[in-house]
């Protein structure tokens, strides 16, 4: 448990230092470190340099590391206690369409809103504001106690918004530098304004593209309709067969490795008071469309899916053309949970498609990636300690939640470095990340810094 | 029956006049009468004027009639006997891609090929060469006998290749001018090189476009997959449900008005010795894909179909995007036979789609036209007379055949003018109509002229 004599002065220092912390974040936000645009390569390097200098200023042994793309920043400091690695990313999304911004995206400012003050700028939430919550907690600790709370490695990436092409090679080449007892990742959201969350399960993702070919060329549907096989019809039959009437995926063995959440986890989710109607209503829906009898949260956090992400075939322009096309294709993805094996699912999918092919049709497949689900080992004592620390800071108790999406770095930390990740963050649904007018609530920034101070106190 | 004393000198005259007839066709082929391109409007008018003058030269009372689009040509001549209306079209398809032509498309020439001499030019077969077969038969008759064989109305359209927008208004405004006892249409093919055909059944066509809408916007399949309905999945289920395992269309009442061909018609079709394997093999197929137990000819000529002509939804570019799309749509067409009611089929289709919609989904429909099948009344004595006439000209007996496609003008002659159509023509599968290097066999042109002389002799 945290010692109040250790923690409380750090929290006081954080409160007193907030205006200066905001100024430091603004300095970082003024650097237009858009990783996907080569014209901003120098800006990315400048952001990396700024962060390395900031880490050195608070006593870290820090520098930038060149890659084939944008540089990495690694800082090492502290000693004793557990060795924790903190991950964040300093690159930001592009800003277009620029005309939808209410003020220049790289001129950060505080704005009053009905929900309180917000920091408005590209990267305010994703991820500069979030990563600075951790650095400011370290800074306050250092200022109060003259040392960092434990052995810390800070690892900041500059390519997260452009697919992280250098990440895995860098992890593989720097295992000794980066391997710690546990990774901390700050790139996720609060469950809601008052409820912090530790994301303990992320779905995996399998992407497949299937193309069905029939006739050797496009045919006229008058001349051949009724005699020649239509690949769109074949594809529709195959896609329609992937789910049964209850919404379950029909592939043999698909649910191998899928487990229901434990009673304890289910109780935490129930206690969140998730508003299904509001969640669906916000996107024009009223009824959960997943497996029969399972609610929205469970469907997204704990159940696998099969979705058709795109389909194309025949004539798609204005008007009508009586073509009987030579081919049709679909992009199909599977979100995976638990111990589902992506490669086994891929094989089951391909075998199912091939088994349904009528004479004269061929199927070709294209692989669009396969990653397993990440499920954190909650028996690691850090998880309950961090949950208690977050619960002390926020109005409502923290919960172990899931995420329907994937955060690849957490998977790579496990597969390359053998390290679990504790993901928490202080963003909100309305932060407009990746959109014009991105913001980060000043309350998220302030309580985020305090949250990390509490977590560091609890883990050390 | 034809009187040899009347017919034979006409046939001799046709043989002797063939070089001059080719020169006349070449003059017409040199006019680039592309109806769909406004830049060629004056060329269309020139072709119409050329034809009206040619009709006047052989004694018709002929002139052009302006429309909102390209002019019509109508010529009236002869007296006594049945009143026959001949229909053809003087407009041609565009010529692009021009670089695939082996010589300029509007510089007609005779070429030697392994199958004999061919007339090579845009419009050689479709439809200038075919319409001139009838005019040359009339010319020979007039030259030999000093009069036309019976009361004739020649009706030549200039918008067939661009959807015939002026046709129905012109028919409606000129019923008295155009109504005859029977229409003759020359815009179809021989069954094969040696077997003439009278097309007595044309399928109707119903075009529908359905758009399924689910969420109010495109969603991220990680955040919403498993909770939100996917319109592509809904569309695939609906499309897959349109056929049963035997290939029959499942819409209630769909087969109302569909009848099996008579034993006599079936015997004619069997006698054609149609080569299913060659027909399918030419387009890379080996197995008829229509209703179980029905062959290719029957499937195309006598059975209705439901085809998906296009489908679109979600992400269709390179790579992958885990989108859960807001909507998906398909273009669906039905080829209709016998007395199937297009509007009843449309209602059954729309009702079926609506009945399969899950909660939160909407369907919108767009009408892309509805025309019933044309089935000629074979009890009209002209059909058997024309069949005998054609059988006398060609190596093999003529057959009453079907067509999987639609020739809308035949339907309009029935619905607007109350007139059946006798369709015969001398094109071949390899004429490359609508493609570069269009041709018309000189043999088709020559024996086509002779065929019309025989038919006119038989009908008068």
Q: Which residues of B touch A313 (CB under 8 A)?
A: 308, 310-311
- Reported as half-sphere exposure (CB side, CA atoms, 13 A), residue B405 has a value of 16
Q: Which residues in chain A have Cβ-Cβ distances shorter than 8 Å to B286? A: 359-360
| B99-107: average pLDDT | 95
Whether residue A207 and residue B322 make contact (CB cut-off 8 A), yes or no, is yes
pLDDT digits (tens, 9 = 90+) for A252-275: 999 999 999 999 999 999 999 999
Q: How confident is the model at residue A383 (pLDDT cuts 50, 70, 90)?
A: very high
A211, β-bridge pairs: A329, A364
Confidence check: pLDDT of A221 > 90? no
From chain A, the residues in CB contact with B296 under 8 A are 227
| Residue B408 contacts A where some CB pair is shorter than 8 Å | no
d(CA B391, CA A27): 93
Among candidate residues A375, A443, A450, the one with its CA nearest the CA of residue A192 = A443
Q: How many CA atoms lie within 13 A of B213 on its CB side?
A: 8
Question: pLDDT value at position A189?
Answer: 95
Instruction: Compute the mean pLDDT over every residue in chain B, rounded to the nearest whole number.
Output: 95
CA pair distance A453, A459, nearest whole angstrom: 10
What does the pLDDT read at residue A318? 86
Look at strands A399-403 and A197-202 and give their pairing.
Answer: parallel
> Which of A223, A226, A239 shows the shortest C-beta gap to B236?
A239
Q: Strands of A305-314's sheet, edge to edge? A: A362-371, A204-213, A327-336, A305-314, B305-314, B327-336, B204-213, B362-371
Asked whether the beta carbons of residue A316 and residue B312 sit closer than 8 angstroms, the reply is yes
Percent of chain A topping pLDDT 70: 100
* pLDDT tens-place string over residues B69-87: 999 999 999 999 999 999 9
Quick check: A363 pLDDT over 90? yes
Contact A239 B233 (CB under 8 A): yes
More confident residue, A3 or B301: B301
N-term to C-term CA, chain B: 9
CB distance A314–B309 less than 8 Å?
Answer: yes
Predicted local distance difference test score (pLDDT) of residue B128:
98
Q: E strands within A158-203?
A: 182-185, 197-202
- Asked whether B257 and B282 are in contact (CB, 8 A), the reply is no
- B72 HSE (CA, 13 A, CB side): 21
pLDDT at B163: 84
**Distance (Å) of CA A239 to CA A244, A335, B354:** 11, 16, 20
Query: How far A150 CA sits from the closest chain B CA (Å)?
Result: 35
Q: Which residues contact B131 (CB under 8 A, 6 or more apart)?
A: B86, B88, B89, B90, B156, B186
> pLDDT by residue (tens digit) across A116-175?
999 999 999 999 999 999 999 999 999 999 999 999 999 999 999 888 999 999 999 999
pLDDT given for residue A414 in this prediction: 92
Q: Is the pLDDT of residue B441 over 90?
A: yes
Give yes or no for residue A109 having a pLDDT over 80.
yes
Query: In CATH, what class is B4-202+374-459?
Result: alpha beta
> Which positions in chain B touch A239 (Cβ < 8 Å)?
232-233, 236, 240
Q: Is it the case that residue A231 has pLDDT exceeding 70?
A: yes
Window 167-186 of A, Cβ < 8 Å to B: none
User: Which sequence spans correspond to the domains of chain B?
Assistant: 4-202+374-459, 204-258+304-371
Contact of A352 with A241, CB cutoff 8 Å: yes
Cα–Cα distance measured from residue A268 to residue A266, given in angstroms and rounded to the nearest whole number: 5
pLDDT at A321: 84
User: Tell me, what's the pLDDT at B408?
Assistant: 85
**Measured between CB atoms, which of B224, B312, B404 is closest to A222?**
B404
User: Residue A2 pLDDT > 80, yes or no?
Assistant: no
ipTM reported for the complex, 2 dp: 0.88
Distance between A409 CA and the closest CA of chain B, angstroms: 16
Cα separation of B78 and B366, whole Å?
A: 47
Residue of B nearest to A335 (CA): B222
Provide mean pLDDT across the span A380-389.
96
- Picking from B170, B166, B139, the residue whose alpha carbon sits closest to that of residue B152 is B139
3-state secondary structure of B202: strand
What confidence score (pLDDT) does residue A235 get? 98
Q: Are strands A83-89 and A182-185 parallel, antiparallel or unpaired?
A: parallel
User: B316: which chain A residues are within 8 Å (Cβ-Cβ)?
Assistant: 310-312, 331
Average pLDDT over residues B162-178: 95
Helices of type H across B241-312: 263-271, 276-281, 296-302
Q: What are phi and psi of B124, to 5 degrees?
A: -55, -40
pLDDT value at position B120? 98
Chain B residue closest to A336 (CA)? B222
- Whole-number pLDDT of residue B428: 95
What is the per-residue pLDDT across A394-441, written as a single tens digit (0 to 9) for each? 999 999 999 998 888 998 999 899 999 999 999 998 999 988 999 999
Query: How distant, in Å, are the alpha carbons of A454, B327, B415 from that of A459?
Result: 9, 48, 86
Reduced to 3 states, what is the DSSP secondary structure of residue A242? coil
Mean pLDDT value of segment B51-58: 97
- Predicted local confidence at residue A371, as pLDDT: 87
**Statement: residue A1 has pLDDT above 70:** no
Q: Which CATH number fits domain A4-202+373-459: 3.40.630.10, 3.40.1110.10, 3.20.20.80, 3.50.50.60?
A: 3.40.630.10
> Which chain A positions have a beta carbon within 8 Å of B290's beta carbon?
226-227
The number of angstroms, rounded, from the C-alpha of A304 to the middle of its chain's C-alpha atoms is 17
What is the CATH T-level fold of the domain B204-258+304-371, as seen in this structure? Alpha-Beta Plaits (3.30.70)
Task: From A430, A459, A460, A457, select the one nearest A443 (Cα to Cα).
Answer: A430
Which tens digit of pLDDT belongs to each residue from A51-84? 999 999 999 999 999 999 999 999 999 999 999 9
Question: Is residue A124 helix, strand or coil?
Answer: coil
Which pLDDT score, from 0 to 100, does residue B1 have?
A: 54
β-pairing, A374-375 vs A399-403, is unpaired
Please list the residues that pair with B366 across neighbouring strands: B209
A287-332: pLDDT as tens digits? 999 999 999 999 999 999 999 999 999 998 888 888 899 999 999 9
Quickly state the pLDDT bin for B97 (edges 50, 70, 90). confident
Instruction: Please report, rounded to a whole number, the percentage of residues in chain B having pLDDT higher than 70.
Output: 100
Q: Give the A:B interface size as CB pairs under 8 Å.
A: 269
Check: CB of residue B217 under 8 Å from CB of residue B445.
no
**Who among B226, B287, B358 is closest to A299 (CB)?**
B226
């Amino acid at each position: 448990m945290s010692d109040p004599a250790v923690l409380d002065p750090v929290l006081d220092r954080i409160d007193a230092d907030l205006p200066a912390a905001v100024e430091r974040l603004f300095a970082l936000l003024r650097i237009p470190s858009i990783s996907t645009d080569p014209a901003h390569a120098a800006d990315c390097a400048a952001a990396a340099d700024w962060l390395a200098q900031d880490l050195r200023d608070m006593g870290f042994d820090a520098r930038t590391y060149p890659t084939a793309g944008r540089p990495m920043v690694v800082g090492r400091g502290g000693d004793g206690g557990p060795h924790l690695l903190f991950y964040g990313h300093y690159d930001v999304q592009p800003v277009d369409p620029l005309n939808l911004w209410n003020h220049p995206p790289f001129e950060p400012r505080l704005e009053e809103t009905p929900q309180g003050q917000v920091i408005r700028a590209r990267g305010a939430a994703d991820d500069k504001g979030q990563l600075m919550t951790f650095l400011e907690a370290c800074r306050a600790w250092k200022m109060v106690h003259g040392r960092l709370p434990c052995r810390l490695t800070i690892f900041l990436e500059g390519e997260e918004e452009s697919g992280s092409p250098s990440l895995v090679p860098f992890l593989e080449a720097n295992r000794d530098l980066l391997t710690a007892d546990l990774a901390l990742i700050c790139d996720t959201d609060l469950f809601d304004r008052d409820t912090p969350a530790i994301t303990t399960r992320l779905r995996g993702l399998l992407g497949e593209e299937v193309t069905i070919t029939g006739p050797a060329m496009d045919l006229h549907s008058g001349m051949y309709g009724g005699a020649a096989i239509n690949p769109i019809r074949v594809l529709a039959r195959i896609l329609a067969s992937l789910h049964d009437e209850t919404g379950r995926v029909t592939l043999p063995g698909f649910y191998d490795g899928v487990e229901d959440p434990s009673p304890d986890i289910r109780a935490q989710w129930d206690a969140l008071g998730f508003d299904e109607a509001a969640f669906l209503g916000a996107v024009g829906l009223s009824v959960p469309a997943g497996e029969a009898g399972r609610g929205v949260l469970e469907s997204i956090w704990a159940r696998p899916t099969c979705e058709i992400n795109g389909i194309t075939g025949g004539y798609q322009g204005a008007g009508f053309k009586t073509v009987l096309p030579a081919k049709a294709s679909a992009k199909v993805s599977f979100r995976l949970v638990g111990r589902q094996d992506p490669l086994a699912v891929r094989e089951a999918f391909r075998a199912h498609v091939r088994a349904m092919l009528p004479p004269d049709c061929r199927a070709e497949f294209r692989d669009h990636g396969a990653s397993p689900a990440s499920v954190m080992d909650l028996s690691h004592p850090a998880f309950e300690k961090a949950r208690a620390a977050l619960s002390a800071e926020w109005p409502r108790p923290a919960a172990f939640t899931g995420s329907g999406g994937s955060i690849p770095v957490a998977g790579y930390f496990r597969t390359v470095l053998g390290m679990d990740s504790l993901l928490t963050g202080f963003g909100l649904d309305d932060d407009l990340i990746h959109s014009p007018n991105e913001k980060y609530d000043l309350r998220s920034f302030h309580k985020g810094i305090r949250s990390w101070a509490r977590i560091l106190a609890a883990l050390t």
